[in-house]
Structure formats: structure tokens, C-alpha cells
Amino acid sequence: MEWITQVRPGFGGFDEPYERAKVVFVGVPLDVTSSYRSGTRFAPGRIREASANLETYLMSAGLDVFESLGISDLGDLTVTPTELAATGDRIREVVRKVSLDGKVPAILGGEHTLTYFAVQEFRDAFLVQLDAHRDLREEYLGDRLCHATVMRRVLDTLPAERLIQVGVRSCSKEEAEFARREKIRAYSSEQVMDGTSSVVAEIRKLVGGARVYLTIDLDVLDPSFAPGVATPEPGGISTVQALRLIRGIGELNLCGFDVVELAPPHDDGTSAFAAARLIYELLGAMAGSSK
């Protein structure tokens, strides 16, 4: 694919050949519709940098991620800031190819808008969204497709009963009314704090054996744990609570995932390392469930 630029070292610094990989990373430095803090285009590189400075052995899973799960990194997608649709076509194409090759696409964002394009390749799947915001506006600042409307656009093609929102704690009145009308399943940050294991158990029951696409907006974490995000929101969950969620969700039938909304210009490194650790825990859960 001529519109992917190879980046070395890749995620974790260890890179299997594509043919042997189970999980395939691609960076999508999308930074077009940010309305508060920009800079998400720098996120893929910072997440990779952090990932190379964390241990690959996970005490929680009792395994080394790179010894247990073949991982490859294609590099970064070329993003055309003035042509969101063209970028979306590229996202869809790479996700389609990776998925058809029997591998799990893993996207390093980039702003949350990218999820809209990625999940179009998994229309039979559940979408589990870890996020501070519901992203259900019909439009925002004149845009029908942007980081604040991404889940509303997803629901143009995905049945509302297949969207599960976790850690949410901020929305407009319009979004609240829409979510109530469409009966969208949601768990607030306080519900997660009160019982992470029970939330995971309910998600497992809802999903069953169906395929799951997981999107992780880093602002699901409280700003004290992830200050460098595009739109921070107080009252979020801790890194430990997020790790517990990830471990449970990672054991489901994952068909793809993304991590979005890291804004490195506003980060001291804390958020990038949190992103990398969440990904490692997810990979560990995936490796453990495939044994």
C-alpha cells in the first residue's frame, strides 16, 4: 500500500513478519476536527516510543506478549487533512485487508473520527466504547462527522443495541435524549468505580460469542491519570480500573481495536505510557484467551 509509511521501530520494538502476525498495528495520525486541543497527529509515534520502554512480560497474564502473540506494525497511514473521505477510504482498505488475512487490526490514533471508518468493516460486531463522552451529537460546529459525532454516525449503519458505552460521564441534553430513546447501553465512570468486575460480566453477557470491536478514547481516564488528551473530562476512572476492564474485554472475540485522542503536545509522557500499557494488557488478554 503506497500510502503507508513504514516506521521503525514499530510497536514494542519487536516486529514479526506480517505473514506470521496475529495482530497488525497501523498508525492513523488523523488530526482534522479537534475542537479544543489539537496534536493527535503526533500520537502514534509517542505511543510506539512509550511501548518500547515498558516490559513486555505481564504479571497479570503470566506471559510475554511478543513471545505469545505474533505482532507486526505496518507503519503510518498517509492522512490528507483537507480530504477526510479519502483518508477514510484508506482506513477502510487497510482494515479490510488485515481482517481478510485473518489478523486483528490495531489502530494507533489519531482523533476518534477514525473509528467511524474502521468499524464499517465489522457491521456484524458489537462496538464497545471506552470514553468520557458519548459522541452522539447529530452535528458539532457545523460538522456531521467529527470527533463529537462519531458514534452517532456509526449508528447510521450499526444497530443501537450493539453499541456499549463504558466510562461515560459527559454529554449534551440532545445526546442524553437520543441515547434514552434508542436505549443505548451505557455504564458511567461511577458505575465502573463501584464494580468493574460486574460491568465486565454484564458486557460478556450482552455480547456472548459475537465479534467485538473495541475503541479506547484515552479521556475515559481521569485527567490525573491521562492529562494529555484532546478533551479532558474530570471524574474519570483510574488506570488500574481501566486495566481491569481491558483484561475482561480482551478475552472476548475481538475483531479489531483502536486507541485514540492522545494529544502529545499537552502530555508529559504520562498519557502515552498509559496508552501503551493499556494496549499491552489488551494483547496479553488476547494471548491468554487464545491458548
DSSP assignments along 263-278, one per residue: -GGG--SHHHHHHHHH
Q: Is residue 190 predicted with pLDDT exceeding 80?
A: yes
Confidence (pLDDT) at 290? 65
Of 8-12, 32-36, 181-185, 275-279, the range with the lowest mean pLDDT is 32-36
Which cell is 253 given? 472475540
Over the stretch 159-176, which tens digit does the pLDDT of each residue have? 999 999 999 999 999 999
CATH code of the domain containing 53: 3.40.800.10
Q: Which domain holds residue 263?
A: 4-289
Contact (Cβ atoms closer than 8 angstroms) between residue 90 and residue 3: yes
Q: What is the mean pLDDT of residues 63-73?
A: 94
User: Residue 19: which residues within 8 A CB-CB, separation 6 or more?
Assistant: none
Q: Is residue 239 predicted with pLDDT exceeding 60?
A: yes
List beta partners, residue 4: 77
Number of separate domains in the chain: 1
Confidence (pLDDT) at 1? 72
CA atoms of 286 and 254, how far apart (whole Å)? 8
CA dihedral 134, 140, 144, 147 (to 10 degrees): -50
Contact (Cβ atoms closer than 8 angstroms) between residue 78 and residue 218: no
CA atoms of 21 and 18, how far apart (whole Å)? 5
**Mean pLDDT rounded to a whole number for the chain:** 95
Q: Is residue 289 predicted with pLDDT exceeding 80?
A: no
pTM of the full structure: 0.96
